[in-house]
Amino acid sequence: MQILIIVNDGPYSTERPYQALRLATALAGDGETTVRLFFMSDGVRCAVGGQAPPDGAKDVEWMLRRFLAGRREASVCQSCMDERGITEAQLIEGASRGNLEQLAAWTRESDRVLVF
């Protein structure tokens, strides 16, 4: 099964990105399910490295690094990055710049699409 998870919220504005990453890692853990992450809108900030979580918040960067360590794919909307002044050099290793065409292709290829 192939699952696409789209993350729209910033890393510490709500718990949605953390919960999306928890679910993505759990779903991919069976070795048979392919999970891809696509970050857009304020969600692109989830893929920026070097952020210190606010007191009491879960570490979204650590969760994303853990997901990517399994050689999984995570892509970040390039136009959303540009609008927020985020460069490719700021992205966590393993996350890559993507675009709407890639998101459309991943959506067509997926059995399930989840949006956080």
Residue-wise pLDDT tens digits, 52-91:
898 888 999 999 999 999 889 999 999 999 999 999 999 9
**Can you give the pTM of this predicted structure?**
0.94
Q: What is the pLDDT of residue 83?
A: 97
- pLDDT tens digits, residue range 5-53? 999 999 998 999 999 999 999 999 988 999 999 999 999 999 999 998 9
Rounded to an integer, the average pLDDT of 90-106 is 97
Q: What is the pLDDT of residue 12?
A: 93
Q: Which two tokens stand for residue 111?
A: 């059995």
- Domains of the chain: total: 1
Q: Find the CATH number of the domain harbouring 58.
A: 3.40.1260.10
